[in-house]
C-alpha cells in the first residue's frame, strides 16, 4: 500500500475536458461517462431560473437503466428524468422505453442517439444484445431503431469511440469483447471484431481483500467487464475480472479491428478482480477499481504504446474497514481534483484527492442512503452526484462540496426499480 499523499491544488493543467453472477452475497456491474461542464459558483443563477433561462439554468434529461430480469428485476426498461440544476432535484417524467434489462447506457456525442446493452443470455439463442434508440431532444422520448447480438452472454458494459462509429461491448458471461459498428442513422450493425479471453483465472480469495472479507464473485471463468478507448482514440483498454488482467488493444479507426498492443496486458494481484477503468482528464493517468479486493490502482499511461506502469494501490474503503464489500464504480470530478468510488455492502461513496503526481489520498465519504450502489454519475454542472441503489430500489441525490469534494445528501429519495445506470444526455456538438 502506498503512503498517503497530499493534494496540490495548483498542480493541475486546467484541462477539463460484472459481473452479474456474484456468488451468494452480491451482484456486480457497470460505468458511463457523462458530459461535464464546470461552472464557477459566481455564475450560478438564483432559483427563479429553475426549468429555464440559459445553459446552467435549463433542465437536463437523464436516462436510467434498470434490471427487468435478474438482479432484482423490478425495473421495466429505460426511464426518463429531468434534473433541477440549482437544487439537484430529479423529476421522473416517464418510462421512455420497454426493453429487457438495459443495465448499462451510453449516449452518442451529439445526444441524438442512446445505446444500451440488454443483459440477457437468450437473444438469438445464447447471447446478450445491444439496442439503439433515437432521441427526441425536445421531449426526451426514445424510439427503438434496432437490436443486434452482443456476441456473448450477459452483456454488461458499452462505450463509444471518439468518432462515434464504434461501440465496445463487454459480455461478462461470454467472456468476449465485441466491436459493434454505428451507422450514420444511429443504427447498430453486426460486430466487426470479437475478442474472446482465454486462459487461467485467478483465485477466489483476493490478494488485497480487507480483513475478514468473503467477497468472492467472478473467478470461475474469464469475465470481460469494461472496455474504454484512450483519450487519443488510439488504444482500447479492457478489464477481465476473472483473469485479473487489463488488456490493451490498438484500434483501427477505419475498420474498428482490434490488435493486441506491444504489451498485450498487465496483470493485477491474483483474485483482486479489476472491474472498471477511468482516465484522469489529463489523459496521462489511468485508474482501475478492483471489485473483490475493493482497491484502486493508479497507472501511468504511455499514449504512444498503450503501456501501463503501476504506481500505487490503495483501499477503496475507509481506513480500518473489515469485512465484505464489493467495489463497483469510479468517476472523476470535472476538474480532476477528486476521484469518487462506490462500494457495495458497505454502501458508501468514498472520496479521494488526486495530487500533482496522480497519487490518491482518502479524504472522506458519504453514505449512499440506499442498498448496493451499482453505479453513480455526476451531473453536467459538476455540483450533484446521483447513486443507483440497486437493492433498495431507489436513487439518492447529493450536492458536492467543491472545496472538500465530499458529497452531502440533499434529502431526496427517488423510487426506481432495480436501478443499474444513470447518464445525462450530452448537450450535443
pLDDT tens readout for residues 106-159: 999 999 999 999 999 999 999 999 999 999 999 999 999 999 999 999 999 999
Structural domain contains residue 15: no
* pLDDT tier at 58, thresholds 50, 70, 90: confident
pLDDT tens for 67-109 read 999 999 999 999 999 999 999 999 999 999 999 999 999 999 9
Please give the residue that has the higher pLDDT: either 429 or 119.
119
pLDDT at 336: 97
Is the pLDDT confidence value at 2 over 60?
A: no
Mean pLDDT across 302-329: 97
Which DSSP symbol is given to 53?
Answer: S
Are 72 and 393 contacting, i.e. CB atoms less than 8 angstroms apart?
yes
pTM of the model: 0.87
Distance CA 31, CA 243 (A): 20
Nine-digit cell string for 412: 431526496
Is the pLDDT confidence value at 43 over 90?
A: no
Beta pairing, strands 78-83 & 90-97: antiparallel
Please give the residue that has the higher pLDDT: either 30 or 157.
157
Mean pLDDT across 249-269: 98
pLDDT at 47: 30
> Among 26-35, 58-67, 283-292, which is the least confidently predicted range?
26-35
Structural domain contains residue 81: yes
Residues 6+ apart with CB under 8 A from 122: none
Structural domain contains residue 4: no
Distance CA 120, CA 122 (A): 6
Structural domain contains residue 36: no
Residues 6+ apart with CB under 8 A from 221: 175, 201, 242
Mean pLDDT across 235-259: 98
Distance CA 201, CA 338 (A): 33
Are 371 and 392 contacting, i.e. CB atoms less than 8 angstroms apart?
yes
pLDDT at 24: 34
Structural domain contains residue 8: no
pLDDT at 427: 85
266 Rama class: left (phi>0) / alpha (psi -120 to 50) / beta: beta
pLDDT at 109: 95
pLDDT tens for 3-29 read 333 333 333 333 333 333 333 333 333
pLDDT at 429: 55
Structural domain contains residue 221: yes
- The CATH number covering residue 364 comes to 2.130.10.10
Domain that holds residue 350: 41-424
pLDDT at 10: 31
Structural domain contains residue 403: yes
**What are the distances in angstroms from CA 293 to CA 53, 76, 156, 162, 179?**
46, 32, 20, 31, 29
Structural domain contains residue 32: no
How many domains, the chain? 1
Amino acid at each position: 500500500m502506498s503512503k498517503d499523499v497530499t493534494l496540490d491544488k495548483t498542480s493541475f493543467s486546467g484541462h477539463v475536458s460484472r459481473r452479474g453472477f456474484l456468488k451468494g452475497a452480491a451482484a456486480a456491474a457497470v460505468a458511463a461517462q457523462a458530459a461535464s461542464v464546470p461552472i464557477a459558483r459566481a455564475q450560478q443563477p438564483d432559483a427563479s431560473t429553475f426549468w429555464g433561462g440559459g445553459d446552467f439554468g435549463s433542465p437536463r434529461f437523464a436516462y436510467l437503466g434498470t434490471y427487468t430480469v435478474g438482479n432484482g428485476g423490478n425495473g421495466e426498461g429505460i426511464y426518463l428524468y429531468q434534473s433541477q440544476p440549482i437544487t439537484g432535484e430529479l423529476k421522473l417524467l416517464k418510462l421512455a422505453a420497454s426493453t429487457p434489462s438495459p443495465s448499462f447506457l451510453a449516449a452518442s456525442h451529439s445526444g441524438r442517439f442512446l445505446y444500451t446493452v440488454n443483459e440477457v443470455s437468450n437473444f438469438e439463442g445464447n447471447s446478450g444484445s445491444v439496442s439503439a434508440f433515437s432521441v427526441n431532444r425536445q421531449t426526451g422520448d426514445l424510439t427503438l431503431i434496432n437490436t443486434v447480438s452482443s456476441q456473448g452472454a450477459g452483456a454488461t458494459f458499452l462505450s463509444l469511440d471518439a468518432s462515434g462509429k464504434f461501440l465496445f461491448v463487454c459480455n461478462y458471461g461470454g467472456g468476449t469483447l465485441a466491436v459493434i459498428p454505428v451507422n450514420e442513422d444511429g443504427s447498430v450493425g453486426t460486430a466487426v471484431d470479437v475478442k474472446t479471453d482465454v486462459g487461467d483465472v485467478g483465485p477466489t480469495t483476493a490478494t488485497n481483500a480487507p480483513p475478514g472479507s468473503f467477497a468472492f464473485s467472478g473467478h470461475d471463468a474469464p469475465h470481460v467487464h469494461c472496455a474504454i478507448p484512450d483519450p487519443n482514440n488510439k488504444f482500447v483498454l479492457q478489464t477481465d475480472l476473472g483473469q485479473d488482467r487489463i488488456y490493451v488493444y490498438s484500434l483501427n479507426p477505419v475498420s474498428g479491428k482490434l490488435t493486441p498492443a506491444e504489451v498485450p496486458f498487465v496483470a493485477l494481484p491474483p483474485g483482486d478482480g479489476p472491474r472498471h477503468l477511468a482516465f484522469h482528464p489529463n489523459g496521462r493517468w489511468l485508474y482501475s477499481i478492483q471489485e473483490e479486493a475493493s482497491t484502486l490502482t493508479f497507472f501511468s499511461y504511455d499514449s504512444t504504446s498503450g503501456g501501463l506502469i503501476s504506481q500505487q494501490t490503495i483501499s477503496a474503503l475507509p481506513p480500518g474497514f473489515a469485512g465484505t464489500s464489493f467495489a463497483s464504480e469510479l468517476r472523476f470530478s470535472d476538474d480532476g481534483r477528486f476521484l469518487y468510488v462506490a462500494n457495495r455492502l458497505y454502501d458508501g461513496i468514498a472520496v479521494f484527492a488526486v495530487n500533482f503526481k496522480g497519487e490518491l489520498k482518502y479524504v472522506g465519504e458519504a453514505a449512499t442512503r440506499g442498498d448496493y450502489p451499482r453505479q453513480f454519475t455526476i451531473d453536467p454542472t459538476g455540483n450533484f452526484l446521483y447513486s443507483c441503489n440497486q437493492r433498495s430500489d431507489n436513487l439518492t441525490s447529493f450536492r458536492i462540496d467543491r472545496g472538500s469534494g465530499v458529497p452531502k445528501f440533499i434529502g431526496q429519495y427517488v423510487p426506481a426499480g432495480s436501478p443499474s445506470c444513470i447518464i445525462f444526455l450530452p448537450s450535443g456538438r
